[in-house]
Chains A and B, each alone.
Chain A
Amino acid sequence: MTEPLLFELDTKGRRGYALPKLDVPTVDPADHIPTKFLRKQLDMPSLSELETVRHFTRLSRMNHSVDIGFYPLGSCTMKYNPKVNENIARLPGFANIHPYQNADSVQGALKLLKTTEQYLAELTGMDAITLQPAAGAQGEMTGLLIIKAYHNKKGNNKKKILIPDSGHGTNPASCTMVGYEVVNIKSDDRGCIDIADLKANIAPDVAGLMITNPNTLGLFDENIGELATLVHSVDGLLYYDGANFNAIMGWTRPGDMGFDVVHLNLHKTFSTPHGGGGPGSGPVGVKAHLKEFLPTPRIVEKNNTYSFEDQNNDTIGAVLGSFGNFSVIVKALAYIMYSGKEGLKDASAYAVLNANYMMKKLKDTYYVPYDRFCKHEFVISGKTLAKQGVKTLDVAKRLLDFGYHSPTIYFPLIVEEAMMFEPTETESKDTLDSFIEVMEKIAKEAVENPDLLKNAPISTPVRRLDEATAARKPDINFYQKP
């Protein structure tokens, strides 16, 4: 199954949309714009509306998605994206308002943002939230800029951020963005931060510790209280990467664990769709002592009237041209309101239940490097399959043949041949059982017929792709062949 490119469907003279007739007297652009600034040529395909609709409909059918089947991609929280939230984000009063309208004309939108801030503050145990960051990575950068502003204001020129070796790749990259040096902290044999290594690296120039808890192994670090005390002892700040917030919602809060800054991913925990890789939203929460550094404008409420406030000398500034990815925030609030306090706590409860159930069932067939209760996700290693020359990659590809998406593979880096599963709470026991059966079957195949795995997938729209040639001779623009 292949679909021609848009450019191959081009028939000059065809139109996919008609504008209303021009109803004003016209002028000649050449009389108003110097010729050198007038466009000479524009290459773009011409298709009818039906051809366009069919092209994209056919393409959509070449995707795996949550709506089609199980998507246990670790650290991505591929839970169900409720349909009603799409309707709500498309209400004219939300979709058709301009960011430069004056505050009086968008009271509903401002109230919505303020309410979302309050709920997220309650969920995280923080004192103030900004909804500005457009994604998790931008949330990280925002949080780190706040940490930097805090130290700079005190006149402390700190240089380092500590990150455990199980951390997401974004963490160190975000540190570099704001000019911090990264120090990697080892994990201990329980998969948590090695306290001795942390102690060895605690120094006055440490600006903070950035961690995910539960971490990327799906394990909760029970020493978090001690870690916080250690970092705070040198006036370092604790940063909570909220990628795994779906594990603890309503059970414990970063603010109560001692964190000073937290970011959330609304597209993970709060059910907003991933959209094939975005848009997301990465709100940041802070404790009171960091509030003054939050990006502006802030939304303030007085006598039930909402307005913007941007008079603040200590703010880090702005990280986005607008107030945030508004319609994503609308969907997250709809999810919070529908779920309510009980539903949110249950979401984490059942996410953790599903993960432990799967891990327990898979333990007989696959190697589990950290054999203890996990939170919402867990990691197994494919290294036992090496005898047959089978790799984790092959297992991942074989799963596609059975109509499942693969787990996250080769991450975290500290587990050899890692496979990271996150089932989420919205999957039923039946789904998990069928999937576990397939995993067992694949393990059997690996012994009996390893080629089946090495050649997988065979039932997908395309088979394994030549990534080396793609990178050596990049063809990334139809109009310019390599």
Chain B
Amino acid sequence: MKFSKEHEWVKLEGDTAIIGITDYAAHQLGDIVFVELPNKGSKLEVNKVFGTIESVKTVSDVFAPMTGEVIEVNDELDANPALVNEDPTGNGWIVKIKVSNPNEYDQLLDEAAYKAICE
């Protein structure tokens, strides 16, 4: 798993990337009440906003850590946005994309480097 400076995580499985927000980000946001998801088939562009996450008193943009086409979105977040708080790197995933440029993965931070920017 790798991380972006904007607090997203990515798991790369073949040419599929699973994307969510980090434990740190979920904690900072507090009680998450709504996740605005992109449509299946839409294109994500690296470092561009692709959705928003609302907590009780704040709203935060979600940035694409990699470029690609959305092949699946986590529909369960509609009914249960709290999943992002409870299990941000597991059941609280946000989208799966088919990556267009696997090299972008190498540009992302490893766990140690990410931890360093959170401190």
Contact = CB atoms under 8 A, between A and B. Distances in A.
Given a CB threshold of 8 Å, the question of whether A touches B is answered with yes
Interface of A: 410, 467-468, 471-472
B83 to A, nearest CB: 11
Q: Chain B at the A interface: mostly helix, strand, loop or mixed?
A: loop
Interface residues of B, number: 9
Contacts of A468: 31, 33, 56, 82
Contacts of B34: 471-472
B54 interface: yes
Contacts of B20: none
Interface in B27-41: 31, 33-34
Contacts of A410: 57
Given A467-B31, A467-B56, A468-B82, 8 more contacts: A410-B57, A468-B31, A468-B56, A471-B33, A471-B56, A472-B33, A472-B81, A472-B82
A467 B54 CA distance: 13
A471 B54 CA distance: 9
Interface in B8-30: none
A406 to B, nearest CB: 15
A410 B31 CA distance: 17
A472 B82 CA distance: 8
A410 B30 CA distance: 15
A471 B30 CA distance: 13
Q: 4 nearest interchain CB pairs?
A: A468-B31, A471-B33, A467-B56, A472-B33
A472 B81 CA distance: 7
A413 to B, nearest CB: 11
Contacts of B82: 468, 472
A467 B57 CA distance: 9
Nearest to A410: B57
11 contacts: A467-B31, A467-B56, A467-B57, A468-B31, A468-B33, A471-B33, A471-B34, A471-B56, A472-B33, A472-B80, A472-B81
Nearest to A471: B33
Contacts of A471: 31, 33-34, 54, 56
**B33, B34, B54, B81: which has the most chain A beta carbons within 10 Å?**
B33
Contacts of B54: 471
A220 B54 CA distance: 35
Interface in B50-67: 54, 56-57
Nearest to B54: A471
A471 B81 CA distance: 10
A445 B1 CA distance: 45
Contacts of A472: 33-34, 80-82
Nearest to B58: A410
**A410, A467, A472: which has the most chain B beta carbons within 10 Å?**
A472
Interface string B64-99: 000000000000000011100000000000000000
A467 B56 CA distance: 7
A468 B55 CA distance: 8
A468 B33 CA distance: 6
Contacts of B31: 467-468, 471
A468 B57 CA distance: 9
Contacts of A467: 31, 56-57
Contacts of B57: 410, 467
